[in-house]
């Protein structure tokens, strides 16, 4: 796998985590930028979603990622929270599609397993590992920002493996090895 720049996005209406990572699997990774797009819980839903959408588009324009990694929405006990997360995820996916970027989605347990080796790691463990892997002097904060960086790291590492598998399948379909 060649060098890749990935925008990781932890979707949310109040805080949408954004993190850009440069690197390639098996080599050192580097944090390029990390932040959150914020919207007021008192603002109308359409304006909150627009803020997330425009924030992601600005990051795509500013950092020119090769791919976008988004946390896959999963069932939560709070239906209102999962609905807001799903809506925010939708505008993130639309921003990536509008920009012509490939998108990968990962569940929280997939990200935790890829970054820490433990799919049940807690937020503290995930943040500590992201800080170490990206050789950051301070842990990224808030947790949404750390999660966004973890998504980007996961994609760099897992994307390389998926790319090798796709190449192997293509090679087999062509009739053997090279």
Which stretches of 18-106 are DSSP H helices? Answer: 45-63, 79-98
Active site residue 147: no
Is residue 144 part of the annotated active site? The answer reads: yes
Domain 4-173 has CATH 3.30.565.10: no
**pLDDT tens digits in sequence order for the chain, 178 residues long:** 578 999 999 999 999 999 999 998 778 899 999 999 999 999 999 999 999 999 999 999 999 999 999 999 876 677 778 899 999 999 999 999 999 999 999 999 999 999 999 999 999 999 999 999 999 999 999 999 999 999 999 999 987 555 555 455 556 677 765 4
Which one of 24, 42, 61, 71 is the catalytic residue?
A: 71
The residue extents of the domains of the chain are 4-173
138 labelled catalytic? no
Beta-strand pair 30-38/4-10? unpaired
CA-CA distance, 141 to 17, in Å (whole number)?
10
């Amino acid at each position: 796998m060649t060098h890749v720049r990935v925008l990781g996005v932890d979707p949310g209406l109040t805080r949408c985590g954004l993190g850009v990572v440069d690197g390639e699997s098996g080599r050192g990774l580097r944090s390029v930028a990390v932040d959150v797009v914020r919207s007021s819980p008192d603002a109308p839903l359409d304006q909150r979603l627009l803020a997330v959408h425009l924030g992601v588009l600005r990051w795509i324009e500013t950092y020119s990622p090769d791919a976008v990694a988004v946390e896959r929405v999963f069932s939560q006990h709070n239906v209102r929270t999962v609905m807001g997360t799903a809506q925010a995820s939708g505008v993130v996916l639309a921003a990536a599609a509008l920009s012509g970027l490939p998108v990968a989605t990962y569940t929280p347990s997939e990200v935790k397993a890829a970054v820490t080796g433990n799919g049940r790691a807690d937020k503290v463990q995930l943040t500590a590992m992201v800080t170490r892997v990206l050789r950051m002097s301070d842990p990224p904060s808030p947790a949404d920002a750390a999660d966004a960086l973890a998504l980007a790291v996961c994609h760099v590492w897992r994307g390389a493996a998926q790319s090798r598998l796709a190449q192997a399948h293509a090679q087999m379909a062509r009739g053997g090895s090279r």
